């Protein structure tokens, strides 16, 4: 039996550990073996990212990056349904309406975190099991490794709420093959499971039930290099057979997507879709017609410009756009229609693409002087 003093030590040690793994905390940050592990822990909110989570994750990544005993960083979500379904949009909406600083601080903090992930010197492994949208994409896509499962559901649905595919969307989307990124950005199309890998968003595909074993093996690696980590992920990937034979969901449409979405303007994309007239084209028209015309124009330009920019310059541009959305009408109306009243019938202003002037779009991209995001 333990001597009384030892028993007290064990209890204290346990209390110290449980402080970090407190199940009520919104994000758990712990060190296991050579791995720093970030666990998004708001399962009821589908692990949506709020400001306090950003404020905890950012300094922890910076600390682990400098720590010689930390060899990799793993990020995952709890609850089995979502990795992270997005940013805490409702809080941002409330802040924007009242002129609260959160409408600036949230985006600034989030984009700084996206950049910290994109520039992280330690291998960063995101286990994107379940819903991964918006802000959740920003927490994963800029890292070295993104592991999708059969439960992964990826989308950038921002144009439906009067926003734009931010969190570095202007960087990674135009770099996907062909015009897939433009298509995903403008229509909010959802990719599932292995298709997330085939689109070039995930780097590996591993069956969901194998993730705990994969995590254990990653933690057990002794001072691993990026190559060692890649080898381990490759070995799990090679053993995953689910949907191996299925062709990419967009394969049959890629020719159309590449030709239509290479147009220089939203009006031209719409014209090309009408000309095409196929069931696929008609479906895309229906989708695009539901989106905020302002968001569509902003997004097309964001991607076209982002295609040749660094991640840092893209995030600086996106911060300007985020603040333009906070000043505008469509974001609040989109959130009302989709997330609050859920009537799914937003009244956009302006209501048609032709009414969104180039001057207005140009204004959204203008530098903010001292308020610009500096990375």
pTM of the predicted model, to two decimals?
A: 0.93
Per-residue pLDDT at 10? 58
Residue 13's pLDDT is 59
pLDDT in tens, 69-104: 999 999 999 999 999 999 999 999 999 999 999 999
Question: CATH number for the domain including 312?
Answer: 3.90.226.10
Structurally, the chain folds into a number of domains equal to 1
Q: Which residues are designated catalytic?
A: 87, 135, 158, 166
Q: Is residue 6 part of a domain?
A: no
- Gap between the Cα atoms of 167 and 127, Å rounded: 18
| CB count in 10 Å sphere of residue 280 | 16
Question: Is 365 exposed, middle or buried (CB count within 10 Å of its CB: 0-12, 13-18, 19+)?
Answer: middle
Expressed as residue numbers, the domain containing 198 is: 27-371
Is residue 19, in this structure, part of any structural domain at all?
Answer: no
Report residues of the chain scoring pLDDT below 70.
1-23
Whether 52 is in a domain gets the answer yes
Report yes or no on 12 lying in a domain: no
Structure tokens at 373: 């995001």
- 358 within domain boundaries: yes
Domain assignment present for residue 161? The answer is yes
Do the domain assignments include residue 352? yes
**Starting at the edge strand that comes first in sequence, how are the strands of the sheet with 191-192 ordered?**
82-84, 131-133, 153-155, 191-192
User: Cβ distance 76 to 38 under 8 Å?
Assistant: yes
Predicted local distance difference test score (pLDDT) of residue 24:
83
Domain assignment of residue 35, yes or no:
yes
């Amino acid at each position: 039996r333990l001597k009384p003093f030892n028993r007290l030590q064990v209890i204290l040690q346990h209390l110290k550990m449980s402080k970090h793994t407190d199940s009520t905390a919104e994000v758990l940050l712990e060190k296991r073996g050579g791995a720093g592990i970030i666990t998004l822990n708001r399962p009821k909110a589908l692990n949506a990212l709020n400001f306090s989570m950003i404020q905890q994750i950012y300094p922890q990544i910076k600390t682990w990056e400098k720590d010689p005993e930390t060899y990799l960083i793993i990020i995952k979500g709890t609850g089995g349904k979502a990795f992270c379904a997005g940013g805490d949009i409702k809080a941002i909406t409330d802040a924007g309406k009242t002129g609260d600083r959160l409408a600036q601080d949230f985006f600034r903090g989030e984009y700084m975190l996206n950049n910290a992930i994109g520039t992280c010197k330690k291998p960063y492994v995101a286990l994107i099991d379940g819903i991964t949208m918006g802000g959740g994409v920003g927490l994963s896509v800029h890292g070295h490794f993104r592991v999708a499962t059969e439960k992964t559901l990826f989308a950038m649905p921002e144009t439906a709420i009067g926003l734009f595919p931010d969190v570095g969307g202007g960087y990674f989307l135009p770099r996907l093959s062909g015009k897939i990124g433009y298509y995903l950005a403008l229509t909010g199309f959802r990719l599932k499971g292995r298709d997330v890998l085939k689109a070039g968003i995930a780097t590996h595909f591993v069956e969901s039930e194998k993730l705990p074993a994969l995590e254990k093996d990653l933690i057990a690696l002794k001072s691993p290099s990026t190559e060692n980590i890649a080898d381990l992920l490759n070995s799990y990937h090679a053993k995953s057979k689910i949907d191996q034979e299925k062709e990419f969901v967009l394969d049959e449409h890629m020719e159309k997507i590449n030709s239509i979405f290479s147009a220089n303007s939203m009006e031209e994309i719409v014209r090309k879709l009408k000309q095409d007239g196929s069931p696929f084209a008609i479906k895309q028209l229906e989708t695009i017609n539901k989106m905020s015309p302002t968001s569509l124009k902003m997004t097309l330009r964001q991607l076209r410009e982002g295609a040749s920019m660094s991640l840092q310059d893209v995030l600086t541009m996106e911060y300007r756009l985020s603040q333009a959305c906070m000043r505008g009408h469509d974001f609040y109306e989109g959130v009302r229609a989709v997330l609050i009243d859920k009537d799914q019938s937003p009244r956009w202003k302006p209501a048609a693409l032709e009414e969104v002037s180039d001057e207005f779009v140009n204004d959204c991209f203008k530098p903010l002087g001292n308020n610009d995001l500096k990375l």
